[in-house]
Amino acid sequence: MRITSDSGILLANPVDYVYHNFSSTKGYSGYGFRSWNGHMQYKHKGGIWADFPTMPSIPGNVEWWIRPTAALYIRPISNDYIRVWDNGQTYGLSYDGGGNLIGGYFRITNTTLGAAAVQGFSDVSGNQTYGYLGYNDNITVGSTTVGGAAVHGRVDDPNRTAVYGRTAGLSDVAAMLGYSNVWIASYNWTDNASATYNPPAIYGHLSNNTGSTVAGDHIGVRGLSQRSASGNPGYTIGVGGVSLANSEDGHGVDGYYSGTGTWRRGGVFYADNTLTSIEVSVAAHDVNRKVVGGGTVSEVIPTENYGRITLTCPESPEYWYIDYGSVQMINGKAHVDLDPILISICFIDSMNPIKVICQPNMEYCNGVAVINKTEKGFDIVEMNGGVHSGEIDFQIVAKPRTNYGEGRFPQAKSRFVKSQNEPEAAKAQNQPDYSKTFRWPNDWEVYGYDVEENTPVGDLIIAGPNAGKIKLGDGKYGTSVPASKSDLRIENK
């Protein structure tokens, strides 16, 4: 049969079911094309009858998806980079290539709370994790409520985190970046619902395992406040600590050092200007001092009639304890017994005699002398055999046991120069060996309590066999504060 152009085959008075078979088998059992109840259907050899696809009602061309040879995915003909992967493969849907500026774009205009442009849900029983892009719903943090988030992660099950960032290998950028020119770049709020453990609101941990030659400051948490504008309207503060504890004891800032370095400080504070630089160290363990630094030690008093005034402490080349008192001299003689507490905390002997300064509070007196000084007391007598009576004020200066052996004008350390690199001009004649100076036993040794038992879970243990470790619970320790509460041996409250 030959069909010419613009012609065809006419089946007169067709029934509802008309077959065009391509084999000797005709009708339903064969294969080919058929009209079936108003539908055009096809069937290949060994297949079943199926409808031809219905063309979309929207304007445009039909787009085909294909499976490349030996591929485990299908893709559209007009875009080589979109993939819909077979069941069991790593990905379900992916974009892999450079043919487009953005690999995936999702937009939503639904104003219903809870709507999101993209939602990811890892539905593992007991470990469900939700992630949203373009999230539209109220989020409350502390006293602040915002109406949505560009990225929102939510986890209610254990052993999951809501947001994680990582850089490694050849990367040279921070794992997490926050920027704002309208408010705070990073805001952290912790609601503590536990009755047994106090988590910090923010935790910084530097693990330095790069060797023993890395110089400089190894910092766990650093704060920098930079102001370049002119004028002096307020205060620029690098790190500010505030403790609002109601009736509980507290610290605005707490510093602790654990190690065997030669420079051991609980805190160092440094201020610099064009005139001079002042440095203060707090809790200087290596030289057994609570405060060390340049400048004076002063007190400020706001007086009503004389303004806000400053008083400054006297200072000495060596360490002394000072005590004051008064005694009645009778017939030119008086005896003073030293306070037994003062005796117990001082070295008083022939090598370290006490020093006594007296002031007679009487109109007639030949002057006084201090004699018979012992480790328990001293006598005051009127000079030239005088026999006057009256009050004598005295000042006692005694050598403390604390830091005994340090000597006069001991070497001071610099915040910026290591001891081995000290310029010759900075070296003092007295270079004390602090391993040989007197130190009092620790508080817990004197009074017999266990430091570890009195250390809260999550805090650093400062003494005992586990000193320098984080207490994770009774009998459980770590080298850092854990990211997961389940790592703490506490009640799950």
Residue with tokens 């005699």: 353
Region 457-470 average pLDDT: 84
Element (H, E) at 445: helix 443-447
Q: Dihedral angle at the C-alpha atoms of 185, 187, 188, 189, nearest 10 degrees?
A: 180
Give the pLDDT score at 386.
96
Question: Which pLDDT tens digit goes with each residue over 137-188?
Answer: 998 888 788 889 999 999 988 888 899 999 999 988 888 889 988 888 888 8
Question: Which pLDDT tens digit goes with each residue over 330-377?
Answer: 999 999 999 999 999 999 999 999 999 999 999 999 999 999 999 999
Task: Look over the chain and give the mean of its residue pLDDT values, rounded to a whole number.
Answer: 85
What is the topology classification, in CATH, of domain 321-400? Answer: Immunoglobulin-like (2.60.40)
Question: Which pLDDT tens digit goes with each residue over 202-233?
Answer: 888 888 776 677 776 787 888 888 888 888 88
Per-domain residue ranges of the chain: 17-51, 106-178, 265-315+424-436, 321-400, 448-493
Closest CA to 318 of 204, 430, 228: 430
Quick one: pLDDT band at residue 124, thresholds 50, 70, 90? confident
Its pTM stands at 0.63
Q: How far is CA 177 from CA 174, 185, 207, 389, in A?
A: 7, 9, 20, 80
Give the pLDDT score at 211.
65
Among the residues of 62-194, which ranges form H helices? none
